[in-house]
Every structure is written in structure tokens, then in C-alpha cells.
């Protein structure tokens, strides 16, 4: 009898401890703020705002990358213009030097154009040679003038391109400043989400603590009939290996809301839908719809290719690849990523399914 009373007293305490520990697994590290009237709607609103901020950051990063590319193009054009100016300056100097040499020779009368003219034997030959010398001299003058004009154009283009570089650098600086502001807002919003999650967990624990413990059975435990064993999980699909290989092949592809292909990007259900399409299985483009469309399997029966579903209501899905790892499209601003299934993921785990 004494042993029975002790066992009876321990059972409610054990139940209470187990319930509290189960609720605590949902909590995350808090930054120390508690909100008395927090609701799931508050958390959903905060997550929606966080997703919007991540989307703004993603768009800003794209603008920054495009502006950087434009800057590099202009820098290349500036380098070409400066090279052209240097070459034109050298051509002008060479043309002026050639003209000066011919002028000196003509003045000195040694091997000069004067010798050429005076060597004519007829008036017609004299006239032709004189015209030839005039043409050569004019060509020298024109070459020097053209080279000077080219140099001036190149220098003017260099100045314009330098201004364009300064303008684009100013745009980059502005984008970088806005990027830092949004990243700061994201950090603050992430902290708020964690605070709300912690507060909801605290409220859940409080509700459990306020519930009365179940009454002990005075007659002792009654043996229950053998439960009906659950149906065995479906066998792995022949396309599971191809689905996993497809998911691995797009690791690093950016997240895109509504995305369902490697070119445009993926959201979470778009990734699993596309990966399993490579394995010959069609899935809907929604994590909740995918959960309803596939046979369910227990956590202990997971096989590579199985789909893992998270949160309540279900709002995220990844593809299991074995070794306690999954591949999933993370969030706006993120990428397709290989992640370990940490305690966080198991805390928000809602179930698994096996396409086939």
C-alpha cells in the first residue's frame, strides 16, 4: 500500500514535468522583453513584416549588383578612353616631328624637297614635283591636326566618364546606406519575432501549470488491450534518388516567392515540387497541399527523398536527404540550403510524407 501511494503521488508530478518540458521545447532565446497580451496573430504579423523586409533587402541587393556592374563597365570605357588619348598624343607628336624634319631639310637644302624640285628636267615635271611636295606637307599638317583633335575628344570623353563614375559611386553609396538601414530593421524584427515566440511559449507553460493534474486511478493501472499496430510506411519511391540529386544540384539558387525553377529561384514548396518532378512525381505548389497529397511516415521511418513539414499551420517544407539533414529554400533574401535538423527544426516539426 505504501508503495502504491508513493507511485500515485509521483504520477501527477511526472505528467506535469513532461508537459512543461514539451512546451519549453518551443521556446527560443529571448532578449528580455515580455508582452502580456501576445497572440499568435501578433507573431504572424511580425513574421510577415520580417518577410517583407527580407524582400526589400533582396531587391536592394539586386539594384546594388546592377549598379556595381554598370560602374565596372564605365571604368572599362574610361580606361579605353585614356589609352586612346595617350596614343593620339603620341601620333600628334610624331606627325609634328616629321613635319619639322622636312622643314629643316628644305631650309638646309640637303636631301630636301628643294633638291627634288630642282632636279626636274621639264616645266611639267617641275610643277608635278612641287605639287607632290605641297601635298606631303599638307598631309603632315593634317595628320598632326587630326591627332590633336582625337586627343581632345579622348580627353573630353575621359572627363565625362570620370563624372559618370563619380555619379555611379554616389548611387552605390546611397544603396549601401539603405541596405545597412534595412539590415538593421531586419535584425530588430528578428529580435521581435524571437521575443514573441518566447512569450507565446511562456503563456503555453502558464496554461499547463494552471491546469489540474489528472486524478490517479485508485485501482491501479488497468492493462489496455494490445493497440492496433499502425500501417507500415509506403516503400521508398524509385524516384527518390533523382529527387534528392535534383535538390542537391540547385543548392545556392536564390529564394524567390512563388519560384519553381532554377532560373528564377525557388520558394520552399516550389523546390520540393520541382525536385520531385525530376523524380517523376507531380506535387502541388503549396506546403500544406503537399502534406495532404502524400502518404505520411513517422520520424523513425524517414528515408532520403521524404518531405519534412514544419510549423502549425504547415507553412514550410524541405526534402530529407539522410544523416539528419534536409535541403530547403529558406526565406526571402536567402538561398536553397543544406541544413542539419537541429533541435529548433524538430521543435517546429509537424510531420513527414513520402511521394511516390
The CATH number for 315's domain is 3.90.1720.10
Indicate whether 224 belongs to any domain: no
Q: Are residues 133 and 247 in the same domain?
A: no
**pTM score above 0.75:** no
pLDDT of residue 75: 82
Indicate whether 158 belongs to any domain: yes
Indicate whether 307 belongs to any domain: yes
Q: Are residues 266 and 120 in the same domain?
A: no
Q: Provide, rounded to the nearest whole percent, the portion of the chain with pLDDT above 90.
A: 26
pLDDT of residue 24: 40
Q: Are residues 80 and 189 in the same domain?
A: yes
Q: Give the CA distances from residue 317 to residues 93, 115, 308, 341, 352, in Å, rounded to whole numbers and listed in that order.
A: 71, 95, 5, 13, 9
CATH code for the domain in which residue 74 is found: 1.10.287
In terms of DSSP H, where are the helices of the chain?
Answer: 2-24, 40-108, 113-118, 123-210, 240-249, 268-278, 287-293, 343-347
Indicate whether 57 belongs to any domain: yes
Q: Are residues 172 and 242 in the same domain?
A: no
Q: Are residues 343 and 274 in the same domain?
A: yes
Indicate whether 14 belongs to any domain: no
Closest by CA to 87, choosing from 153, 183, 180, 171, is 153
Domain count of the chain? 2
Indicate whether 175 belongs to any domain: yes
Q: Are residues 243 and 170 in the same domain?
A: no
Q: What residues make up the domain containing 294?
A: 236-353
* Lowest model confidence (mean pLDDT) among 19-33, 177-191, 290-304: 19-33
pLDDT of residue 189: 85
Q: Are residues 167 and 81 in the same domain?
A: yes
Find the angle CA(39)-CA(44)-CA(49) to the nearest 5 degrees: 130
Indicate whether 183 belongs to any domain: yes
Q: Are residues 191 and 253 in the same domain?
A: no
End-to-end CA separation in angstroms for the chain: 56
Compute the half-sphere exposure of residue 306: CA atoms within 13 Å on the CB side of its CA.
24
Q: Are residues 197 and 63 in the same domain?
A: yes
Q: Are residues 179 and 246 in the same domain?
A: no
Q: Give the CA distances from residue 226 to residues 15, 35, 121, 222, 230, in Å, rounded to whole numbers and listed in that order.
A: 23, 46, 133, 12, 12
Q: Are residues 69 and 164 in the same domain?
A: yes
pLDDT higher at 100 or 183: 183
Q: Are residues 244 and 190 in the same domain?
A: no
Cβ-based burial of 318 (10 A; exposed 0-12, middle 13-18, buried ≥19): buried
pLDDT higher at 298 or 226: 298
The x, y and z cell numbers of residue 286, run together, are: 503549396
Indicate whether 51 belongs to any domain: yes
As a whole number of angstroms, the distance between CA 117 and CA 355 comes to 98
pLDDT of residue 283: 96
Instruction: Give residue 247's pLDDT band: very low, low, confident or very high (50, 70, 90).
Output: very high
The x, y and z cell numbers of residue 350, run together, are: 509537424
Amino acid at each position: 500500500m505504501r508503495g502504491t501511494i508513493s507511485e500515485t503521488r509521483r504520477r501527477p508530478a511526472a505528467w506535469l514535468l513532461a508537459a512543461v518540458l514539451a512546451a519549453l521545447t518551443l521556446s527560443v532565446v529571448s532578449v528580455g522583453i515580455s508582452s502580456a497580451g501576445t497572440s499568435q496573430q501578433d507573431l504572424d504579423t511580425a513574421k510577415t513584416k520580417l518577410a517583407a523586409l527580407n524582400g526589400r533587402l533582396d531587391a536592394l541587393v539586386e539594384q546594388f549588383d546592377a549598379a556595381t556592374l554598370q560602374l565596372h563597365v564605365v571604368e572599362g570605357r574610361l580606361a579605353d578612353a585614356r589609352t586612346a588619348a595617350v596614343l593620339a598624343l603620341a601620333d600628334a607628336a610624331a606627325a609634328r616631328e616629321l613635319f619639322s624634319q622636312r622643314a629643316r631639310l628644305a631650309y638646309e637644302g640637303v636631301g630636301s624637297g628643294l633638291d627634288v624640285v630642282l632636279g626636274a628636267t621639264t616645266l611639267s615635271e617641275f610643277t608635278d614635283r612641287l605639287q607632290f611636295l605641297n601635298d606631303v606637307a599638307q598631309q603632315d599638317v593634317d595628320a598632326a591636326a587630326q591627332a590633336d583633335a582625337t586627343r581632345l575628344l579622348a580627353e573630353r570623353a575621359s572627363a565625362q566618364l570620370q563624372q559618370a563614375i563619380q555619379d555611379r559611386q554616389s548611387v552605390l553609396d546611397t544603396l549601401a546606406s539603405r541596405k545597412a538601414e534595412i539590415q538593421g530593421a531586419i535584425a530588430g524584427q528578428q529580435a521581435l519575432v524571437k521575443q514573441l515566440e518566447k512569450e507565446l511559449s511562456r503563456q503555453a507553460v502558464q496554461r499547463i501549470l494552471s491546469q489540474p493534474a489528472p486524478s490517479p486511478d485508485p485501482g491501479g493501472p488497468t492493462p489496455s488491450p494490445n493497440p492496433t499496430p499502425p500501417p507500415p510506411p509506403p516503400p521508398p519511391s524509385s524516384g527518390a534518388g533523382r529527387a534528392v540529386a535534383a535538390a542537391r544540384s540547385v543548392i545556392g539558387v536564390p529564394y524567390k516567392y512563388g519560384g519553381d525553377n532554377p532560373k528564377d529561384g525557388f520558394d520552399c514548396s516550389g523546390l520540393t515540387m520541382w525536385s520531385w518532378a525530376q523524380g517523376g512525381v507531380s506535387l502541388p505548389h503549396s506546403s500544406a497541399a503537399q502534406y495532404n497529397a502524400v502518404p505520411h511516415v513517422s520520424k523513425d521511418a524517414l528515408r532520403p527523398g521524404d518531405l519534412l513539414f514544419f510549423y502549425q499551420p504547415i507553412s514550410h517544407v524541405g526534402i530529407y536527404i539522410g544523416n539528419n539533414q534536409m535541403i530547403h529554400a529558406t526565406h526571402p533574401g536567402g538561398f536553397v540550403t543544406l541544413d542539419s535538423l537541429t533541435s529548433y527544426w524538430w521543435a517546429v516539426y509537424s510531420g513527414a510524407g513520402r511521394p511516390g
